């Protein structure tokens, strides 16, 4: 309090990074394994990815959290700090994280590269264009849109119903004016007029596909399966029907290679892919996680939002797809966020309030139970913020001990890996236990309705699920199209366990309403939408972009 706190970008720019070759050496990689992007970023070559496939897997640690609040939880910060702590303990460790989208970076202050002394660097590059992966995805997505409109313009052999094109264009920006547009105006030479809209790129199915593909062949196969529209007989039309999967794969042939960077403490990190955690599964790429498991003995990775969305999807979609499940789960909570879950308004968070903390603790407890229900061991990471009082921390300790919950106070934001040593040790203890085995909550041969009900009742605590007439019709259609075997990707507000963003803590006596379903057949899941899900954010009154600048030496300013 009162002392000068350095900003993330100041801390990052003060750090001397090691040349990326030296980071690769820690993993047994040579210069030839790396495709350099400047001195501090590299993609792993296709040959390298192939070569390491034969190696034994390391241990996988999944970092998830309570339901997020405006108070901030610091899940990425804990992910980075835990990786650094494991390194300090002499373990060969690595981090696997998502690539940030430019939209939020330019919209609302706050990046996705950790914070304080637990960051991945070069943070400016990672938060701006990085190695171009997201731009390649934007291009592939929109090339497909252009090919669809051109197909219709040139005769429409596939008899695509222009009122039933579900493939949208994308832009990696926050731009509300593009949510609903009409394209093809201006006369016969300018295309067919029709309704369209833009999502943010990270909501594109191409992003989800890239993140779930095992290799280039799998990528092409998945891209070919993506549904773009329905034809005049109401049958689905795929990318393969259009014949565009080769071109899309070509556009993504570099983007599929994971990106190697480092933490402030020089722990290697693969940052690759970043699908939305609502209409997609919200985890970094399978290729990055798989490769990290081959290169390191301990891999720390994270999933989007709280455990109800991110961890559930990580386990039911990504882990099942990889054939690898976490060896331990870390659940991040903060005193501030639990106080908000306990009913405190954001402006009153600075005041000590152990009663509210005890009240909000129920949110954490529910997520712990969820992780346990998957058969997985866990440790709670209480991520310390400057304003947390001694009494509040004591209350948190008591609450954990009452419930016999594993927990650790972490100070990785202020201290880097040193602040996460106890957490690391407790995680290693959990991994060493052998009495756990991963069990999905539903089977793939369950019906789509059964899968949705399982998630809603067991993970959210809902009393039941309602389906709108549209959703019911789609359930019947999707079964007819042969998509029933796919897992579910729930699109629900991240702020509440329920589908009502205002219900914090542990809501009870609520039902979940499924408004609409969306096939992501290429990614390999059916999206179930509850309420309105924003797939193209808007900019605030004063966008973060207004503070951004670069000095004449090319140094980024005002990025965070």
What is the footprint of a second copy within residues 286-305 (CB under 8 A)? Answer: none
Cβ nearer to a second copy, comparing 243 with 464 = 243
Q: Count CB atoms within 10 A of the CB of residue 280.
A: 29
Contact assessment for residue 36 and residue 42, using Cβ atoms and an 8 Å cutoff:
yes
- On whether the CB atoms of residues 297 and 92 are closer than 8 A, the answer is yes
Distance in Å, CB of 204 to a second copy, minimum: 14
Q: Whose Cβ is closer to a second copy: residue 531's or residue 558's?
A: 558
Query: Cα(144)–Cα(251) distance, rounded to whole angstroms?
Result: 11
Give 181's strand partners.
196
| Annotated catalytic residue, options 15, 48, 77, 139 | 77
| Residue from 135, 365, 457, 515 in contact with a second copy (CB under 8 A) | 135
User: Segment contacting a second copy (CB under 8 A): 68-76, 168-176, 478-486, 501-509?
Assistant: 168-176
Is 267 in the active site? Answer: no
The span from the CA of 546 to the CA of 189, in Å, is 39
Stretch that binds a second copy, among 139-147, 335-343, 476-484, 498-506 (CB under 8 A): 139-147
174 lies in the binding site for a second copy (CB under 8 A): yes
3-state secondary structure at position 59: strand
**Does residue 179 interact with a second copy by CB under 8 A?**
yes
Chain positions 25 to 54 lying near a second copy, rule: CB under 8 A, are 35-39, 43, 46
User: Can you tell me which residue has the tokens 């722990």?
Assistant: 267
Annotation marks residue 413 as catalytic: yes
Could you tell me the smallest distance in angstroms from the CB atom of residue 321 to a second copy? 20
Nearest to 113 by CA among 129, 100, 103, 102: 100
Q: Are strands 42-44 and 114-115 parallel, antiparallel or unpaired?
A: unpaired
- Residue whose CB is less far from a second copy, 239 or 337: 239
Closest approach of a second copy to the CB of residue 50, in Å: 9
Of 151 and 313, which CB lies nearer to a second copy in the complex structure?
A: 151
Which H helix or E strand runs over 207?
Answer: helix 205-212
216 binds a second copy (CB under 8 A): yes
x/- site string to a second copy, residues 94 to 123, per CB under 8 A?
--------x---x-----------------
Decide: is 164 part of the binding site for a second copy (CB under 8 A): no
- Pattern of binders to a second copy over 402-431, x per CB under 8 A? ------------------------------
C-alpha 488: how far from chain center? 16
Nearest partner of 172 among 215, 211, 217, 139, judged by Cα: 139
Active site residue 92: no
Q: Does 149 bind a second copy (CB under 8 A)?
A: yes
Give the residue carrying structure tokens 């914070």. 115
Positive or negative, the Cα torsion across 391, 396, 399, 400? negative
Strand positions, DSSP E, 266-366:
268-271, 298-302, 328-333
Q: Does 189 bind a second copy (CB under 8 A)?
A: yes
Residues in the chain: 560
305 in catalytic set: yes
Range 523-542, binding a second copy (CB under 8 A):
538-539, 541
Token pair for residue 311?
């961890």
Compute the distance between CA of residue 544 and CA of residue 110 in angstroms, rounded to an integer.
Answer: 9
Q: How far is the CB of 174 from a second copy (least distance, A)?
A: 7
Contact 366, 348 (CB under 8 A): no
| Residue 491, beta-bridge partner list | 529
Binding residues for ATP: 69-76
Contacts of 110 (CB under 8 A, 6+ apart): 104, 544, 560
Residue 501 binds a second copy, judged by CB under 8 A? no
Site for a second copy in 426-485 (CB under 8 A): none
Can you list the positions of beta strands (E) in 378-504?
378-383, 407-410, 464-467, 488-491
Residue span binding a second copy (CB under 8 A) among the ranges 146-154, 318-326, 405-413, 416-424: 146-154
User: What pairs with residue 200 in β-bridges?
Assistant: 171
Q: Does 239 bind a second copy (CB under 8 A)?
A: no
Question: Is 288 a residue of the active site?
Answer: no
Stretch that binds a second copy, among 185-193, 265-273, 435-443, 497-505 (CB under 8 A): 185-193
Please confirm, yes or no, whether 225 is among the known catalytic residues: no
Both ends of the chain: CA-CA distance in Å? 20
**DSSP character string of 238-256:** EHHHHT-HHHHHHHTTTTT
543 touches a second copy (CB under 8 A): yes
Choosing from 385, 396, 407, 560, the catalytic residue is 385
Cα–Cα distance measured from residue 383 to residue 401, given in angstroms and rounded to the nearest whole number: 17
277 catalytically annotated? yes
Which of 64, 67, 113, 139 is in the footprint of a second copy by CB under 8 A?
Answer: 139
**Contact region with a second copy (CB under 8 A), list: 238-246, 304-312, 426-434, 469-477:** 238-246
Is residue 178 close enough to count as binding a second copy by CB under 8 A? yes
Give me the phi and psi of 536, to 5 degrees please: -140, 100
Q: Which of residues 242-281 bind a second copy (CB under 8 A)?
A: 243-244, 246-247, 249-251, 253-254
The catalytically annotated residue of 167, 361, 413, 467 is 413
> Is position 362 annotated as part of the catalytic site?
no
Question: Per CB under 8 A, does 241 bind a second copy?
Answer: no
* Contact pick of 6, 129, 234, 473 for a second copy (by CB under 8 A): 129
- C-alpha 44/C-alpha 261 separation (Å) is 11
* Residue 200: exposure state from Cβ atoms within 10 A (0-12, 13-18, ≥19): buried
- Answer for which of 3, 14, 154, 434 binds a second copy (CB under 8 A) is 154
Return d(Cα 148, Cα 242) in angstroms, integer: 8
CB of 481 to a second copy, least distance (A): 26
Q: Which of 28, 55, 108, 217 binds a second copy (CB under 8 A)?
A: 217
Residues marked as catalytic = 75, 77, 98, 109, 277, 305, 385, 413
């Amino acid at each position: 309090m009162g002392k000068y706190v350095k900003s993330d970008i100041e801390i990052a720019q003060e750090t001397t990074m090691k040349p990326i070759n030296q980071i690769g050496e820690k993993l047994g990689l040579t210069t030839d394994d790396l495709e350099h992007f400047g001195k501090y970023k590299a993609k792993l070559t296709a040959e390298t990815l192939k070569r390491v496939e034969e190696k034994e897997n390391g241990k996988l640690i999944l970092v998830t959290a309570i339901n997020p609040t405006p108070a901030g939880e610091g899940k990425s910060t804990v992910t980075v700090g835990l990786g650094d702590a494991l390194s300090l303990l002499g373990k060969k460790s690595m981090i696997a994280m998502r690539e940030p989208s430019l939209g939020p970076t330019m919209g609302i202050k706050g990046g996705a590269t950790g914070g304080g002394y637990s960051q991945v660097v070069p943070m400016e590059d990672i938060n701006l264009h990085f190695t171009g992966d997201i731009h390649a995805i934007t291009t592939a997505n929109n090339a497909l849109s252009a090919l669809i409109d051109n197909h219709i313009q040139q005769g429409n052999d596939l008899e695509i119903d222009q009122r039933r094109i579900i493939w949208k264009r994308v832009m990696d920006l926050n731009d509300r004016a593009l949510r609903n547009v009409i394209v093809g105006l201006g006369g016969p030479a300018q295309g067919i007029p029709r309704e369209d809209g833009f999502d943010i790129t990270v909501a594109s199915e191409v992003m989800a596909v890239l993140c779930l593909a095992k290799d280039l062949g799998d990528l092409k196969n998945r891209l070919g399966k993506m549904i773009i529209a329905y034809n005049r007989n109401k049958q689905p039309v795929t990318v393969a029907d259009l014949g565009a999967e080769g071109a899309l794969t070509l556009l993504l042939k570099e983007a599929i290679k994971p990106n190697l960077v480092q933490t402030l403490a020089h722990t290697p990190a693969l940052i690759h892919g970043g699908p939305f955690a609502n209409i997609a599964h919200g985890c970094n790429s399978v290729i990055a996680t798989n490769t990290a498991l081959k290169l390191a003995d301990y891999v720390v990775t994270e999933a989007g939002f709280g455990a109800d969305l991110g961890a559930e999807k990580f386990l039911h979609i990504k882990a099942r797809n990889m054939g690898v499940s976490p060896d331990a789960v870390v659940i991040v909570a903060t005193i501030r966020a639990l106080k908000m879950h306990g009913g405190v308004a954001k402006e009153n968070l600075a005041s000590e309030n152990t009663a509210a903390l005890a009240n909000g603790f129920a949110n954490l407890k529910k997520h712990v139970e969820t992780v346990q229900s998957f058969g997985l061991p866990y440790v709670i990471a209480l991520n310390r913020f400057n304003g947390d009082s001694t009494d509040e921390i004591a209350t948190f300790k008591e609450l954990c001990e009452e419930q016999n919950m594993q927990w650790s106070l972490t100070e990785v934001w202020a201290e880097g890996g040193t602040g996460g040593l106890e957490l690391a040790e407790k995680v290693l203890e959990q991994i060493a236990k052998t009495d756990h085995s991963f069990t999905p909550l539903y089977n793939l041969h369950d019906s789509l309705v059964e899968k949705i009900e399982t998630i809603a009742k067991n993970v959210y605590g809902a009393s039941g699920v309602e389906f709108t007439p549209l959703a019911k019709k789609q359930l019947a259609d999707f079964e007819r199209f042969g998509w029933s075997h796919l897992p579910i990707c729930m699109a629900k507000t991240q702020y509440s366990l329920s589908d009502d963003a205002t219900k914090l803590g542990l809501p009870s006596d609520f039902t979940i309403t499924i408004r609409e379903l969306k096939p992501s057949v290429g990614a390999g899941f059916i999206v179930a939408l509850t309420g309105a899900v924003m797939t193209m954010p808007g900019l605030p009154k004063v966008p973060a972009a207004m503070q951004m600048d670069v000095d004449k030496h090319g140094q980024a300013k005002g990025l965070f």
